Structure 1
Amino acid sequence: MEPPIVYYPRSEYIETDTGNKVSRKSVICGSQNIILGGKTIIQTDCVIRGDLRRTGGGHAVVVAIGRYCLLAKGSIIRPPYKTYKGIFSYYPMKIGDHVTIGEGSIVEAATIGSFVHIGKNCVIGRFAIIKDCCRIEDNTVIPPNTVVPSFSIYEGSPGMFVDELPECVQDLYEAKTKDYYSKFQSKDS
């Protein structure tokens, strides 16, 4: 089934030189610490906390998001944190290419690989590692420090392995994210 063309008001989105489309109604804190790989869509009411970083001088990348990613409405991205030897610290988060994060999901993972689909209303716990080519079903809670292996489907609360993905999933997710990006168009164009 062919996904429909999604029209958005041009005045509501900022489009960068690298093709990122960021809603003006999203909250992007510490933008100097966030890297978007290109052709990423950040929809309305998303929150990305690039201001939560280790103390100290210098420029630090807190959140790195790859190419052709989609952060759906109301998703929250914040770096993981922990207290070590009495010192509270935030740690960087890396999100790979062709990643979809569903509406209302909260992500505090250390790493999300490429070709990953995270459903609606999911919670990805602190320092979770989601390997390449995975699917997290809607309403799933991935506990902190969980490692989700490649080509797996996780579901439930707490998230458990329920099935395996075929090896062609990389091509499918790549086609899906590129298709969505091409059909996410301003009303004025």
Structure 2
Amino acid sequence: MADVVLRGDLHSTRPVPSSSGKEVTPTSISIGRCTVISAGSVIKPPCRMSRGQTHYYPIKIGDNVFVGPQCTISAISISSHVYIGANVTIQQFVIIKENVKVLPNTVIPANMVIASGSVVGGQPARVVGEVGEGWGVSGGGAGGGLGVGGGSEEKWVEGGDLRELVRSIK
């Protein structure tokens, strides 16, 4: 979407050998299929200072990930089927596993690992619940929503049905 900043220029300066034998510069940001990054968000690879030099590490974002507006993300890994609300800050070297919902205005501190199926919120972030069974499945059945414990106050459906959510943010 508009005003998204992907800091792909921040990458390791060490070339790595490829399968063809030539040395190539490694990819700094890898984004999976059906991933939506909303307006005003910034994605930048995590870095660490060592012996006076800054070393950047690649960031990997999985499939079917939704990043809300005005987010700042510097995680090392975000797995598939993750929903990140508006105005979320994810600091360096955070690992987010599959099927996680991050509530709006959350600040996830550096080096935190978030387990699969968790709902995370707060400043600093903490696990506040679990996503219900059937999270991300279309239809209004039990557990279809994103609320804590599978409430049904808002709906999010994986894959192609993200279009409604994208339209609502424009």
> Helix, strand or coil: the match of 2:32?
strand
Following TM superposition, by how much is the alpha carbon of 1:166 offset from its aligned partner in structure 2, in angstroms?
Answer: 1.8
Work out the percentage of aligned pairs sharing the same amino acid. Answer: 36
Q: 2:89 aligned with 1:127, yes or no?
A: no
C-alpha displacement of 1:52: 0.1
Contact 1:98 1:174 in 2 (8 A): no
1:142-163 CA-to-partner distances (Å, cap 9, x unmatched) read 0000001110011110011101
How far apart are residue 178 of structure 1 and its match? 1.3
Q: Is the 8 A contact 1:53 1:92 kept in 2?
A: yes
Amino acid at match of 2:84: I
Where in structure 1 are there 5+ consecutive unaligned residues?
Answer: 1-42
Distance across 2 between alignment mates of 1:76 and 1:164: 27
**How far apart, in 1, do the equivalents of 2:8 and 2:31 lie?**
11
Among 78, 83, 87, the alignment partner of 2:49 is 83
TM-score calculated relative to the size of structure 1: 0.70
Q: Give 1:25's aligned residue.
A: none
What TM-score do you get using the length of structure 2 for normalisation?
A: 0.77
Q: Which has the higher strand share?
A: 1
Once the two structures are superposed, the pairs formed by residues 90-169 of structure 1 within 5 Å of their partners are 90-169=56-135
Q: Does residue 161 of structure 2 align to residue 179 of structure 1?
A: yes
Measured in 2, the distance between the counterparts of 1:117 and 1:183 equals 11
Q: Which residue of 1 aligns with 2:13?
A: 55
Number of residue pairs matched by the alignment: 143
Q: Report if the CA contact (8 A) 2:14-2:25 is conserved.
A: no
Kindly tell me: are residues 174 and 104 of structure 1, through their superposed partners in 2, closer, same or farther at Cα, counting changes over 3 Å?
closer
Could you tell me how far 1:55 is from its partner in structure 2?
A: 1.1
Offset from partner CA, 1:51-107 (integer Å, 9 cap, x none): 101113322111010011110010110000001344320000000000000000000
Following superposition, the deviation at residue 184 of structure 1 comes to 6.6
1:122 and 1:140 map into 2 onto residues whose CA distance is: 5
Deviation at 1:119, TM superposition (A): 0.3
Which letter maps to 1:149? A
- Counterpart of 1:6 in structure 2 is none
Which deviates more from structure 2 when the two are superposed, residues 61-70 or residues 162-171?
162-171
Q: Which has the higher contact order (CA 8 A, sep 6+)?
A: 1
Q: Which has the larger displacement, 138-147 or 51-60?
A: 51-60
One-letter identity of the residue aligned with 1:126: Q
| Alpha-carbon distance in structure 1 between the residues aligned to 2:115 and 2:94 | 11
